[in-house]
Amino acid sequence: MKKRFSPRVPSAVRRHRRTVLVTASAALMAPLLAPLMSGAPGRVAADQRLENDFTAAADEYDVPRSVLMGVSYLQSRWDSHRGAPSVGGGFGPMHLVDTRLAQKADPAAQQRGGAVALAGPSPSQAAKPPGKRSGQPSDLQQAARLTGEKEDRLRKDAAANVRGGAALLAETQRLLGKPLSDNPADWWEAVARFPGLDDTTEAATYANDVFGVIHEGAHRTTDAGQSVTLPASPDVRPRALKNAARSKEVECPTELSCSWLSAPYTEIDDDAYGNHDLGDRPKDQKIEYIVIHDTEASLRSMFQTVQDPTEASWHYSIRSKDGHVTQHIRTKDMAWHSGSQFVNARSIGIEHEGFLTQPDTWYTEQMYRASARLVRYLAKKYGVPLDRQHIFGHDNVPAPTAESIPDMHEDPGPFWDWRHYFDLLGAPLRATAGPDSPMVTVLPDYSTYKPRYTGCGGHGVPCAPHGSSAVRLHTEPADNAPLIQDPGRRPDGEDSTEDVSDLGSRISAGQTYAVAERRGDWTAIWFLGKKAWFKNPKKHPTAVGAAGRMVTPKEGLSEVPVYGRALPEEDAYPDGITEPTESPLPYTLGEGQRYVTMSHTTGSYIDRSTFEYTPSPVVKGQEKYYEIQIGYRLGYVRASDVDVVDAPVLAGPQGQAGGRSRR
């Protein structure tokens, strides 16, 4: 039979280089709200002009300050984005929408019947809609009329923008026939209308999220360096809401509004078919991973792609402007999304509308929250651990073979806020051991950690300073030392660069590594078979202590091979299925080196070389593998090659690895 190790990666995906209802129950609200006060270890003296702007605007327009700040948090997390608009044409901390700009940028936004309209399929295509809202209460032009501010000032000046938002909230409250009350609960309907969402389920979800923020409180430093705190109001609570209406095909949490737009399973010719594989997961193959992508295209374009049988596929798409979720493939089936058939067989792929070089334009708070709710639901349903070896980016997917490494993808990139995302998942990234532990978890302060990047506006062009989840690695403990190289990514020996898409010398928030050495403010980790150094000062650490397990080569082995997939042993393959060629990656575990593992697995393989209407059998092996954090991407080692070492909660002053070895 013709061997098929990984579906063809189509041109549209090669270019890939680059919300939900909340009930009043604490069980649903807590994971999204509890981390809001955890932005910094302690509040320090900082620029607090934005806080004063909220107070002044709330007083001027008789809007409760907590309501104004809560709305702004959901609109932008209080960020100004340097006056740049979002994809929806929104500006400033209140995300006031320039309707003329929004219509120009999104000419398909009003299309509601086409299968590939940018706005996506409406729930009304599958069920009676719960209701529609019209208009754009956060209209920048209307804010200019109400306040007398010039439109350009509303776009660029944070104080004017906040004042415009307060005026719009007060005007919406009056139009609803409600009083300008001091009680935040009286403003629920006005808050629900503020973002101008068409779907009433999504509007209600938005309002509940705002009131959840008010209930829990929040603190963070904005992208402009403003220290902003919203004190908790324990007596203010979200409302209990009805479940969303949805198509019967979708698999979403009951409180999430979702749509269905099917990907085709079609024979193209005698030797090819598309664009996904039928399966019976988790009965025939356990779902172990959820892969986070960004589209590197508009959602309109991606809807066209996912309906094309010659292209790739994924399970869910999430819209930038409001977090609306569209499902394309049943989770029991396998999408072609990761570049690795091994990972495809064990994962669910979620695309997020956006471009990794334009995070402020595309990576909205509503999209983050919708994604987090969907992932929490899927992780609970399939038993996927909420950690960075199971919830990871397309850029963390291990290459299945050595020759495929240069073709692997870079999204969602260094500006995806993994720390905030895991807060929303209810699994906050944090220290689990003392600072001298033999393991560390990467954890820079996203809002203030702004390493230099190039390539956002063309090759070599510096990117604007921006918060980042990624930390760079050097060959020596010095800022001017060369960057670590990835021999698989650049087999010709070219140096790693500061390009936004160059993963060769980066690690990312939530990833955990074994410590190799410490010198002053510098920490070395084992990375791709060598020591890699990053700056980790005690006052402003970029990594924190971690407890867990590591693997190290068994005594007597000078090095251990690393694989990009865990394949069954030779005698596991039945007649008629050709065993794929084993292809170790160009990295090894050297004697004395250690790498963090969070799980183990056994080998499996699915041969999909022909078009069939029933799932192909899963070849399952007995040999055990450990999944390890070998570099920026993950890898696998045979359990028979390594010993497991526990990293204790506390370690000695030099951070030397401790714990007991288990063979």
CA atoms within 13 A of residue 73's CA, in its CB half-sphere: 31
Positive or negative, the CA dihedral 367, 419, 391, 504 is: positive
Give me the numbers of helices (H) and strands (E) for the chain, helices first please: 15, 29
Whether the upstream peptide bond of residue 282 has omega within 30° of 0, thus cis, is yes
- Residue 6 resides in a domain: no
Claim to verify: residue 262 and residue 362 sit in the same structural domain: yes
DSSP state of 293: E
Owning domain of residue 497 = 11-18+245-549
Place of tokens 């800022």: 479
Assign 171 to helix, strand or coil: helix
| Helix 200-216, helix 65-76: angle, nearest 10 | 120
Of 230, 263, 295, which one is at a domain's C-terminal end? 230
156 token code pair: 């660029």
- Torsion, Cα 255 261 263 268, to 10 degrees, reads 170
- Residue 628 resides in a domain: no
Binned average pLDDT, 10 residues per bin, the chain of 663 residues:
34 33 36 44 61 97 98 97 92 94 54 32 34 64 96 97 98 96 97 91 92 96 94 93 76 89 92 92 97 96 96 97 96 97 98 97 96 98 98 98 95 98 98 95 96 93 95 97 94 91 96 98 97 96 97 97 97 93 95 97 91 92 97 98 85 40 41
List, in sequence order, every beta strand (DSSP E) within 338-431: 347-352, 391-393
445 token code pair: 């302060």
Q: What is the pTM of this model?
A: 0.88
67 token code pair: 């309501």
Claim to verify: residue 207 and residue 279 sit in the same structural domain: no
Q: What's residue 248's pLDDT?
A: 80
Q: What's residue 190's pLDDT?
A: 97
Strands 316-318 and 325-327: antiparallel
DSSP 481-513: SPBP--TTT-TT-PPP--BTT--TTEEETT-EE
Please give the radius of gyration of the chain, using alpha carbons only, rounded to the nearest integer. Answer: 25
Claim to verify: residue 174 and residue 279 sit in the same structural domain: no
Q: What is the pLDDT of residues 404-445, one digit of tens each?
A: 999 999 999 999 999 999 999 999 999 999 999 999 999 999
Closest CA to 320 of 343, 295, 303, 339: 295
Of 176, 203, 230, which one is at a domain's C-terminal end? 230
* Rounded Cα gap, residues 281 and 328, in angstroms: 16
- Strand arrangement of the beta sheet that strand 618-628 belongs to: 635-638, 618-628, 595-606, 548-553, 642-647, 661-662
CA atoms within 13 A of residue 147's CA, in its CB half-sphere: 26
H helices of 220-364, where?
A: 299-306, 341-345, 359-362
- Residue 4 resides in a domain: no
Q: What's residue 47's pLDDT?
A: 81
Q: What's residue 105's pLDDT?
A: 58
Claim to verify: residue 539 and residue 448 sit in the same structural domain: yes
CB within 8 Å of 660: residues ≥ 6 apart: 645, 646
Claim to verify: residue 324 and residue 296 sit in the same structural domain: yes
Distance of CA 541 to the CA centre of its chain: 22
DSSP state of 296: S
Q: What is the pLDDT of residues 23-79, one digit of tens each?
A: 333 334 444 544 444 443 333 345 889 999 999 999 999 999 999 999 999 999 999
Claim to verify: residue 385 and residue 527 sit in the same structural domain: yes
- Residue 157 resides in a domain: yes
Claim to verify: residue 323 and residue 219 sit in the same structural domain: no
Closest CA to 604 of 384, 341, 313: 341
Claim to verify: residue 161 and residue 277 sit in the same structural domain: no
Q: What is the CATH number of the domain that holds 327?
A: 3.40.80.10
Claim to verify: residue 543 and residue 504 sit in the same structural domain: yes
| Domains: count for the chain | 2
CB-CB neighbours of 362 under 10 Å: 23
- Residue 648 resides in a domain: no
Q: What is the CATH number of the domain that holds 221?
A: 1.10.530
Of 163, 198, 230, which one is at a domain's C-terminal end? 230
- Residue 559 resides in a domain: no
Q: What's residue 649's pLDDT?
A: 61
Closest CA to 201 of 140, 252, 276: 252
Claim to verify: residue 280 and residue 328 sit in the same structural domain: yes
Claim to verify: residue 502 and residue 367 sit in the same structural domain: yes
Helix (H), strand (E) at residue 57:
helix 49-61
* Rounded Cα gap, residues 9 and 6, in angstroms: 8
- Residue 663 resides in a domain: no
Claim to verify: residue 249 and residue 104 sit in the same structural domain: no
CB within 8 Å of 132: residues ≥ 6 apart: 198, 199, 200
- Residue 145 resides in a domain: yes
